[in-house]
Structure 1
Amino acid sequence: MFKIGDYVRFIDEKREGYITKEIDEATVGVTDSDGFEIPVSIGNLTYVHGHHSNVDTANNAMPSTQVDEKFVEDGVYLAVAEDNKASVVAHFTLVNRTSYQLLLSLKTEKAGIYKGEFAGVIQPKGSVQVYTANLGDLDNWPSFTFQTLFFSSGNVKPKASLQLEKRFKSKDFSGAKNQITEVNKYGWLIRLDEPALVIDAQKLKESFFNVKEDKPKVVKPQQEVDLHIERLRDDHHFLSQAEILNAQVAQFQKKLDAAIVHQMPSIVFIHGVGNGTLRDQIHKTISKHPQVRTFMDARKEKFGYGATEVVFKV
């Protein structure tokens, strides 16, 4: 039986991809290397040799146990990284940076229906892929329940088990991607065994009587400011058109104000051509701005009509 995350090949044509959606009992959505999700009958699919589901590989290919000079108590993470062949496909890898052997189970829930996704052992300083999802379909992701037991044969005090329920939102992937050594990819690293926040009542009390007013420092902007959304937000895949426009306009306003503070003679905003909505918003704002002397299309030989130069009053 096929499941989300399986890597499959079409029987009647030369096409491969990941199963990223269960449409009904006889049909699934397969996302290919171009990022397109194609509805296809399960009778027209076959597994690709060398690719296996998460559960099938749970107890195979486990890394050998490593001996630590110092026993590490904490450090259980979930690495989320895009697939090399299809960027819309995200693989979830459980990363164990502790000295414990982990007994892990992962269960999902959607519309009251529970599904076991993974059960297996993760060795100390090891990692195992546990789930695959479609990044573009984040709003329809199920909720995740991670349950973990910590085991060590050494002279170590027993550690309490971990149970974490997680529903992912776009803000979980809004930060910059970082290199994750265990998967040898750039992605997002989410800690699952985050220690509970302890509030120091005395320090909290003192903070009310020692308020420091830090004046914000305005950074001088570059001469050319690129407003394309992929330059501004790593999570742009999850944003609606309205959210994208709001983010671009906010960045434009921020850099415009900073240019005025630093008394720059001019600044160029690269907004692209597109449907002209962002360009119109920018022109509407600067046409009424008291500090703007004039504006024009910037370097047509380089940007065409995709950039605007703003010239300020002396």
Structure 2
Amino acid sequence: MNYKIGDLVRFVDEPIEGHITSIQANDIIGVTDDTGFEIPVLKTKVTLVHGNMRLPEDDREEELFTKNLPFVGKGIFMAVAGEQKDGLAKFYIVNETSYELLVSIAEVSGSKTTGVFANSIPKHDYAQVYTANFSSVGKWPTFQLQILRHSRDLQTQTQPISKEFRVKPLDLINSKERVEMLQEKAWLYELDKVEEDIGLDKLKNHFISHRPR
């Protein structure tokens, strides 16, 4: 099995689950669990954990519950959770919208990228997409995010979200926000925020109008 950094795996012989944080020689991978410690283990001693392990009946129950609720068109976030003293940071895509999302995330390295996550995220749901150590926050990667929004109901047409994203060390000075889906606090980054393009002419007028007289 070809594993990659960020994959969620479970130990075959022990009740341990964590994310791959290093690929080592002799078919050994480093798996970091919730304690923040990296455990070396043979690839043959772990299995891949897929998605959020949702069952079909979960989706049917949710559909019945949300059928008469208003459609939520905005609210796609990258959430970074975890305590710096514990060492492990967890990256989530949080979908507060009524859209189903098709998400692809790649790690940018120069002019090339390496995929780290690709999956669908149901409406009003989330998925863990990456892990990293707080001790190396200055070396956290830049991500290329691509997100498609899908709805079976008639909605205004949306364009795919395509952008680069990186958490900067200074961002972690800001306060966390409570994320009910995760049942914990996290640093939140809005991914579907409309970027205002004021244009060159508007920028020029802005400076002219604010010039001291």
- Bin the TM-score by the shorter chain: 0.7 to 0.9
Task: Indicate the structure with greater strand content.
Answer: 2
Displacement, 1:29? 2.8
**Paired residue for 1:147?**
146
Which one has a bigger Cα radius of gyration?
1
1:264-279, aligned counterparts within 5 Å?
none
**Paired residue for 1:70?**
70
User: For the residues of structure 2 that align with 1:41 and 1:124, how far apart are their CA atoms?
Assistant: 35
**Paired residue for 1:26?**
27
Q: Please give the secondary structure, in 2, of the residue aligned with 1:28.
A: strand
User: For the residues of structure 1 that align with 2:95 and 2:18, how far apart are their CA atoms?
Assistant: 28
1:235-250, aligned counterparts within 5 Å?
none
User: For the residues of structure 1 that align with 2:16 and 2:151, how far apart are their CA atoms?
Assistant: 45
User: For the residues of structure 2 that align with 1:4 and 1:87, how far apart are their CA atoms?
Assistant: 20
User: For the residues of structure 2 that align with 1:121 and 1:9, how far apart are their CA atoms?
Assistant: 25
1:89-238, aligned counterparts within 5 Å?
89-110=88-109, 114-199=113-198, 206-208=209-211
* Alignment deviations for residues 8-67 of structure 1 (CA, whole Å, 9 cap, x no partner): 4496x99775432224463333335553435x25258434xxxx54xx216845753434
State the identity %. 29
User: For the residues of structure 2 that align with 1:106 and 1:180, how far apart are their CA atoms?
Assistant: 21
Displacement, 1:185? 0.9
Q: Could you tell me the TM-score, scaled by structure 1's length?
A: 0.52
1:298-313, aligned counterparts within 5 Å?
none
Q: Note if contact 1:92-1:129 (Cα within 8 Å) is conserved in structure 2.
A: yes
Unaligned runs of 5+ in 1: 211-314
Q: Note if contact 2:31-2:41 (Cα within 8 Å) is conserved in structure 1.
A: no
User: For the residues of structure 2 that align with 1:33 and 1:100, how far apart are their CA atoms?
Assistant: 30
User: For the residues of structure 1 that align with 2:211 and 2:111, how far apart are their CA atoms?
Assistant: 45
Q: Note if contact 1:4-1:133 (Cα within 8 Å) is conserved in structure 2.
A: no
- Aligned residue-pair number: 200
User: For the residues of structure 2 that align with 1:198 and 1:112, how far apart are their CA atoms?
Assistant: 26
Q: CA RMSD in A?
A: 3.5
Displacement, 1:162? 0.8
**Paired residue for 1:79?**
79
* Alignment deviations for residues 245-265 of structure 1 (CA, whole Å, 9 cap, x no partner): xxxxxxxxxxxxxxxxxxxxx
User: For the residues of structure 2 that align with 1:162 and 1:14, how far apart are their CA atoms?
Assistant: 38
Displacement, 1:103? 1.8
- With CA pairs under 8 Å and 6+ residues apart, which has the higher RCO, 1 or 2? 2
User: For the residues of structure 1 that align with 2:158 and 2:90, how far apart are their CA atoms?
Assistant: 28
User: For the residues of structure 2 that align with 1:172 and 1:148, how far apart are their CA atoms?
Assistant: 23
Displacement over 6 Å in runs of 4+: 13-16, 200-204
User: For the residues of structure 1 that align with 2:172 and 2:180, how far apart are their CA atoms?
Assistant: 18
**Paired residue for 2:42?**
42
* Alignment deviations for residues 86-141 of structure 1 (CA, whole Å, 9 cap, x no partner): 93222222111222222222222336653333222222222222222223233333
